[in-house]
Amino acid sequence: MRERRVEGMESENGMADDSSILIDGAHRIEEDVQRELLAQAGLQFSSLVVRRVPNGVCLEGVLEADDVDAASSSVCGLARRVAGVQEVLNHLVVHQANGDVPAKG
């Protein structure tokens, strides 16, 4: 059985494999987007997952914001400020930060 390594892979001819560079680059974009979003004062994430998709990222998690409408629209713009992100799939659940729950019925 052959062992597979992701980082530092070499091809059979001893040359470095570019797949580790691609994986590192994708991971770096995910981290940069997460850092950008978590640095925003008006946004409070109780959970945030950033995954790389073709030409961009997919955002998943729960966001608590002072202004729900503004937060929803600004999150995509903030993510696009990161180099390498053109498309943003926003799958975030957004809650009002003040914790008021509307009455049922």
pTM of this structure = 0.68
Question: Are 48 and 57 within 8 A, CB to CB?
Answer: no
| pLDDT for the residue numbered 93 | 92
Q: What is the CATH number of the domain that holds 67?
A: 3.30.300.30
Question: What is the number of alpha carbons within 13 Å of residue 18 lying toward its C-beta?
Answer: 0
- Rounded to 5 degrees, φ, ψ at 11 are -80, 175
Domain extent for 24: 19-96
| pLDDT for the residue numbered 65 | 79
Residue 6 domain flag? no
Summarised one tens digit per residue, pLDDT across range 19-73 is 554 556 778 999 999 999 999 887 889 999 999 999 999 999 999 877 777 787 8
Residue 5 domain flag? no
Residue 82 domain flag? yes
Residue 33 domain flag? yes
Residue 75 domain flag? yes
> At 18, is the pLDDT very low, low, confident or very high (cuts 50, 70, 90)?
low
Give CA–CA dist 96/105, Å, rounded.
Answer: 19
